[in-house]
Structure 1
Amino acid sequence: MKFTRRQAIAGALGATTALSLPGGVFAQSGQILHASWGGGVGDTWTKAFAEPYTADTGTDVRIVELPNPEAQFRAQAGNPQYHTGIGTFVQGVNMMRDDMLETFSIDEIPNMKNIDEKFWLKTEDGRIAGVTPYFAYYGIAVNTNEASVDDFQTWKSVADPKWEGRLGMTRPIYLSTYDLTILSKTAGGDEYNTGGGMDLLKGMAKNVLNVSNSLAQQNTMLERGEVAAMPFYSVRVWSLNEAGVDYVKIVIPEEGALLLPYAIFAPKGVKDREMVAEWLNYIASAAPQERGMAASGYIPANDQAEATDDIRAKLGMGYQELRAKLYQPDWGYIAEHQKDTVAAIDQMLAEL
């Protein structure tokens, strides 16, 4: 398989998005506008977080679905139109370093005390720049009509030549943060020492049938059996399983899976700051996170959240046992070096 430089660059750039509020969306007095990714994420935030919060407090929360909330925050720097938004932890770190986020004390968001501090998005002086509502994990999704889950009990399997032309792979922007990180750990290194991980990534790339440009495409590839397996997100497999696609399974290899925390942040200079802090504190609490788990398979970050028998059966374990199988890297370091890492992966793929 040959990767063109155009493919790699397109993957590194990612999605584009409009720079203003969608038509018909206007902030109103006493209303919170929350920027969310679309599809299932938007639905989860509406049903598990926004509607219950409005019912409990009387404060209206409107979920606005966008391709990339971070792009909106950057475009509106100095004149924010949204009160809060969701992003990956790496996106949050980058915006925090660019001094684009409002920060809060622990007294303003006390429910953060029930979330392990390693999941906090915080400044050097300890102020909270983002709330972690939940996390997913990055394992190996397997179509069991095409392969066995036993075939992928180690991450090294993705570089096995037996899978030539039978694997899927994501874009370089995500390879740099997710795939390379867990493959480096598998090779005996970590996010600081990625030489062995790059070798495994190169081996996987040689086995790849297609570099997918979207999550929808990845879902289709797995569901139709176009690929036997690919590194993928636990919540996406959860959604497939809930839709009746029970032959796609998510595997946590023996080296573990990569823990993917998400962050909710407020733009610097946000209006109605006290109202926003109350909303963020609610997001950090256990109850909405439990509802989010039931709706979409996102693992609660709050230590007080409890898994129902049904959730435990679907996960095959409880929350604490699951967390013990997940690797939490230094996302700050990964974010700081992301540009150079993407360039290195771009070059490696172009040479195949």
Structure 2
Amino acid sequence: MKKTTFAAAGIVAALALSGCSATSGEGAAQQLNVYAWADEIPQSVFDAFTEETGIKVNVDNFDSNETMISKLATGSSGYDIVEPSQYAVQQLVGQGLVEPLDKSKIEGLDNIAEKFSDPIYDPGLEYSVPWVWGTTGLLYNSECTGGEEITSWKSLFDKKWEGKVNMLDNMLAAYIAGLQVNGYPANSKDEKEIAAATQSLIDQKAMLSGYNSTNYGDLVASGDVCMSMAWGGTQTAKIVDANEQVEYVLPEEGGSLWVDGISIAKGAPNQEAAYEFINFLLRPEIGAMATNDAGLASANVAAAEHVSDQGLLTNAAVYASDEQVANADFIVDPGAAMKFYQDGWTRVKAS
């Protein structure tokens, strides 16, 4: 799964990407221009939509929310649909780059799972419709831990496991553990709370095997490390499936959630087609294609009965339990507090 990253406030890069040309006049509604994460909306979904409606779908992919935001900020992207992560929705709204949703044109919002129906990053889903979601939690090897069950971030800071702990090499991911182990929310904007988390991460560093965001799953599976902070998702689910001693859990402190959703770009040239596409995605059988064809958890709770591999619904690396999800924090835009994270992370890395 992708990393959750944030750009420093106010930095907008000039990026040369292949955009879609805006359309107008007769025939304009017969195409839809989409800017999305690669493979999160499977090609099978686009094909089914075109087959049913006759609307041609043009798709470009971005590699980060920051790339997407920068492209929309040029003011002439020509896109109709974009797929921002939760914190990016806040930034897009703040910059006036997405349209408020006309709920009278949307059917199926009642299919969205409760945790995502009124989220902190977009109250009332005024600007986005959740599509897929995932978690940040703990991956551990029970053979390596001598059968000890790992349930808390505290284990990542316990010198008992010195040299056998990996942390994600990602600033805000690391702060999820640093904050929650101190009893603070993972989306804190409080300078003192962030400072406490920074000190915990500095104290932890000497006992780590390292910071690794690439092959940490293989390290846990082989027993080279006993445990790691980890992103849930397809790759982690495969490791859990292939190794009976490997477990993925959300820690008792909560862990975190990410959500990638659907928004309508400001000035979208094909808005009616955009609403038709959103309604299409909200159908349970279409929502299930996010799991069946992309291996991701669907935000559409009604999609569950249409998931072909029902075992995925109980694999915590894909679908965390309702109880765990209810206790997890959304990672949101830190706003001005970004400086506290950046300054703290510089200290952690230099320690």
TM-score after normalising by structure 1: 0.76
Letter in 2 for 1:110: E
Are 1:185 and 2:180 an aligned pair? Answer: yes
How far did residue 330 of structure 1 move? 5.8
Q: 1:224 to 1:53 in 2, by over 3 A?
A: farther
CA distance in 1, matches of 2:94, 2:257: 22
Please name the residue that 1:322 is paired with: 321
How far did residue 111 of structure 1 move? 2.2
Letter in 2 for 1:278: E
CA distance in 2, matches of 1:221, 1:294: 28
Are 1:72 and 2:81 an aligned pair? Answer: no
Q: 1:312 to 1:219 in 2, by over 3 A?
A: closer
Q: Which of 101, 105, 125 is the equivalent residue of 1:104? A: 101
Please name the residue that 1:258 is paired with: 256
Bigger mean CA offset, 70-79 vs 190-199:
190-199
Are 1:55 and 2:51 an aligned pair? Answer: yes
Please name the residue that 1:174 is paired with: 172
Please name the residue that 1:234 is paired with: 232
Is the contact made by 2:134 and 2:232 (CA closer than 8 Å) also made in structure 1? yes
CA distance in 2, matches of 1:180, 1:267: 31
Q: 1:222 to 1:64 in 2, by over 3 A?
A: farther
How far did residue 131 of structure 1 move? 1.4
Q: 1:146 to 1:280 in 2, by over 3 A?
A: same
Please name the residue that 1:162 is paired with: 160
Secondary structure of the 1:260 match is: strand
CA distance in 2, matches of 1:102, 1:322: 33
Please name the residue that 1:20 is paired with: 16
Please name the residue that 2:279 is paired with: 281
Bigger mean CA offset, 134-143 vs 307-316:
307-316
How far did residue 324 of structure 1 move? 1.8
What is the identity percentage for the equivalent residue pairs of Structure 1 and Structure 2? Answer: 17
After superposition, the CA RMSD in angstroms is 3.6
CA distance in 2, matches of 1:211, 1:135: 24
CA distance in 1, matches of 2:248, 2:344: 25
Please name the residue that 2:119 is paired with: 119
Bigger mean CA offset, 56-65 vs 135-144:
56-65
Aligned residues: 326
Letter in 2 for 1:294: N
CA distance in 2, matches of 1:336, 1:56: 42
CA distance in 2, matches of 1:138, 1:263: 18
CA distance in 2, matches of 1:61, 1:223: 40
Is the contact made by 1:149 and 1:249 (CA closer than 8 Å) also made in structure 2? no
Deviations 1:81-137 (A, max 9, x none): 3322323211221221122212212112232233233237537xx672111112111
Q: How does 1:262-273 map to 2 (within 5 A)?
A: 262-273=260-271
CA distance in 2, matches of 1:223, 1:81: 45
Is the contact made by 2:65 and 2:84 (CA closer than 8 Å) also made in structure 1? yes
Are 1:45 and 2:44 an aligned pair? Answer: no
How far did residue 314 of structure 1 move? 5.7
Are 1:206 and 2:206 an aligned pair? Answer: yes
Secondary structure of the 1:150 match is: coil
Is the contact made by 1:84 and 1:276 (CA closer than 8 Å) also made in structure 2? yes
Letter in 1 for 2:68: Q
Is the contact made by 1:240 and 1:246 (CA closer than 8 Å) also made in structure 2? no
How far did residue 18 of structure 1 move? 8.4
Deviations 1:257-302 (A, max 9, x none): 3222222223212211111122123223322222212334432222
CA distance in 2, matches of 1:186, 1:92: 27
Secondary structure of the 1:119 match is: coil
Bigger mean CA offset, 90-99 vs 296-305:
296-305
CA distance in 2, matches of 1:339, 1:296: 32
TM-score after normalising by structure 2: 0.76
Is the contact made by 2:37 and 2:63 (CA closer than 8 Å) also made in structure 1? yes
Are 1:343 and 2:336 an aligned pair? Answer: no
CA distance in 1, matches of 2:331, 2:248: 23
Q: 1:51 to 1:331 in 2, by over 3 A?
A: same
Deviations 1:161-192 (A, max 9, x none): 133333222344433xxx42455334322244
Q: How does 1:283-322 map to 2 (within 5 A)?
A: 283-307=281-305, 310-312=309-311, 315=314, 322=321
Secondary structure of the 2:77 match is: coil
- Give structure 2 stretches of 5+ with no counterpart: none
Is the contact made by 1:283 and 1:289 (CA closer than 8 Å) also made in structure 2? yes
